[in-house]
Each structure stands twice: as structure tokens, then as C-alpha cells.
């Protein structure tokens, strides 16, 4: 049996927020936009490639959500991503440390909570 993996994650964004979506995920974070399937053209979705997975941002009327739900994105240079977010007036939030996985959280322009991490070591080596 093939080992399971996450193929994509879907996050909401307000209708008509294409420009803000592309400014944050494309220009600021440098994610590669890929075309959504033409069969989904009427759904107002924007897709990005994240390694061998995808991020799908779909249009939906916003509602307040401050839960702990989030997506975690592994990046090569965590400090660079944090600096770019701060320079663009976003507020990274420190998180409880995980050995071998420095990380922080930040909300996108639509309130979605995103964790950014760099995996430098196996946290299991530090378990008691």
C-alpha cells in the first residue's frame, strides 16, 4: 500500500480577493501559482504548488475564526520569511518550541492561520 501524504490544503479567501491573494502568496511568499483545472473555472479558485503538494484558495464569504486550525508550511529560510512578513506589516507570532523545528505563526490577509517552520532535526530524538 502506498504511504499516505497530503496532496493539497484548501483555505478560504473573500470573493474578489485575487489581487490580495496573489500579493501575499505569490509576490510576498514566492509560491508558484499553477492553473486550476478548467473544470473548476467557475469556482473562483487560485492554486499554488508547494513542493509536491498544492495550496488551493477558494472564494467564500468571510466569517470570524480565531481557532487553532492552521496549515504548516516548511520553508528553507525561516528568518527570511519572517523578515519579509514583518516588512510587509504582518505580525508573526512566536510558538511553543519544538526541538529541531523552529517555527512561528502568522495570519494571511484573510485571517487564515499559517505556521511556518524549518525542519533541522528529528524532534523524536529529544523525547523523554
Question: Which domains does the chain possess?
Answer: 8-126 (3.10.180.10)
56 and 11 Cβ atoms separated by less than 8 Å? yes
CA gap 49, 57 in Å, rounded: 12
Provide the 10 A C-beta neighbour count for residue 31.
18
> For a pLDDT cut of 90, what percent of the chain falls above it?
81
The bridge status of strand 53-59 relative to strand 45-50 is: antiparallel
CA gap 100, 121 in Å, rounded: 4
Segment 58-113, tens digit of pLDDT: 999 888 777 788 999 999 999 999 999 999 999 999 999 999 999 999 999 999 99
| Residue 58 pLDDT | 95
| Residue 63 pLDDT | 80
| Residue 13 pLDDT | 95
Nearest CA to 18 among 33, 6, 3? 33
Amino acid at each position: 500500500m502506498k504511504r499516505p501524504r497530503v496532496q493539497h490544503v484548501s483555505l478560504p479567501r473573500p470573493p474578489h480577493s485575487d489581487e490580495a491573494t496573489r500579493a501575499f502568496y505569490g509576490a510576498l511568499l514566492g509560491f508558484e501559482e499553477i492553473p486550476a483545472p478548467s473544470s473548476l473555472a467557475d469556482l473562483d479558485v487560485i492554486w499554488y504548488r508547494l513542493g509536491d503538494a498544492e495550496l488551493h484558495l477558494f472564494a467564500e464569504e468571510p466569517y470570524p475564526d480565531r481557532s487553532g486550525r492552521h496549515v504548516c508550511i516548511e520553508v528553507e529560510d525561516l528568518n527570511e520569511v519572517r523578515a519579509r512578513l514583518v516588512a510587509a506589516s504582518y505580525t508573526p507570532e512566536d510558538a511553543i518550541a519544538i526541538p529541531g523545528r523552529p517555527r512561528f505563526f502568522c495570519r494571511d490577509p484573510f485571517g487564515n492561520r499559517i505556521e511556518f517552520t524549518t525542519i533541522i532535526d528529528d524532534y523524536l530524538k529529544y523525547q523523554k
